[in-house]
Amino acid sequence: MTAPWTLLTGDCRAVMPPRGPFDLIVADPPYGDTSLAWDRRVDGWLPLARAALRPSGSLWVFGSLRSFMATAAAFEEAGLRYAQEIVWEKQNGSGFHADRFKRVHELVVQFYRADTPWSAVHNAVQTTPDATARTVRRKQRPPHTGDINAGHYVSRDGGPRLMRSVLAIRNCHGRAIHPTEKPVALLDILVRTSCPAGGLVGDWFAGSGAVGATCRLAGRRYVGCETDAAMAERARAHIAALLPFPAGDGA
């Protein structure tokens, strides 16, 4: 039986495929948008990720529009089909040049296996409890209603509604372990939507281990991989600090 969580050190292309099959893969690969030394696109991982997915599984990938446009063919060649996307709106962002808008959003795109119908992919529809129940009062008879008297009616649409595709969630600025760390509040939505309770999540570019932290809180099993050994140690400490499991579960 797979341990509740495991974070490996190494290249995801070598160490992650044998750890599947995964119910969900979350990937935050380098976007290749900057000149930073670590921001170099990684080739060859997509077909391996697709092969490591269960037929009912899906893949959520973080990126910029620029990075998705540059790698669109690779997704198709790997046998992955586009499902939907989320726009993550941050409270602050990046400005690369004076003649650009300040970028305060990132994309999170869901893909699934091209040999599987969308109806067979695990998808727990998410809702938010912010629909507003209303009582509407009419003080006088509307002129076009004939004999209908003045009165009031109650709107019954209060309660949950379908979660919207633009999510405004604060990023980890000022408290991040990794420069591109994603907030647990955002990751929790992805995990609960696309991985059944007790299922296995694969995190192919683990960074700070935020996906692992999310999985421990959400009751999903987790296997992550980080190529930077020092960062992997910090990620293990991050995950282990949340809820204690018996020794050895995070090997």
Residues 58-82 pLDDT 10s? 999 999 999 999 999 999 999 999 9
Tell me which of 12-21, 127-136, 185-194, 242-251 is least confident.
242-251
The predicted-structure confidence for 147-195, as pLDDT tens digits, reads as follows: 655 555 554 555 677 899 999 999 877 777 777 789 999 999 999 999 9
| Sign of the dihedral through C-alpha 192, 198, 199, 201 | positive
pTM for this entry: 0.84
Of all residues in the chain, what percent are helix, strand and coil, respectively (each to 5)? 25, 30, 45
**What residues contact residue 77 under an 8 Å CB cut-off, 6+ apart?**
46, 47
CATH number for the region 5-126+163-240 comes to: 3.40.50.150
At 113, the pLDDT band (50, 70, 90 cuts) reads: very high
Domain residue ranges of the chain, discontinuous segments joined by +: 5-126+163-240, 128-162
Task: Report which of residues 62 and 102 the model is more confident about.
Answer: 62
Q: At what angle do helices 210-218 and 229-240 cross, to 10 degrees?
A: 20
* Residue type at 121 in one-letter notation: V
Q: What was the pLDDT predicted at 102?
A: 81
Q: Of 189, 155, 211, 197, which is closest to residue 7 (Cα–Cα)?
A: 211
Q: Report d(CA 90, CA 139) in Å as an integer.
A: 44
Rounded to whole angstroms, the Cα distance separating 163 from 240 reads 31
Nearest to 187 by CA among 216, 222, 209, 214: 214
Would you list the DSSP string of 116-179?
S-GGGS-----EEEEEPPEEEEESS--TTSTTPPSEEEEE---EEEEPPSEEE----TTT-SST
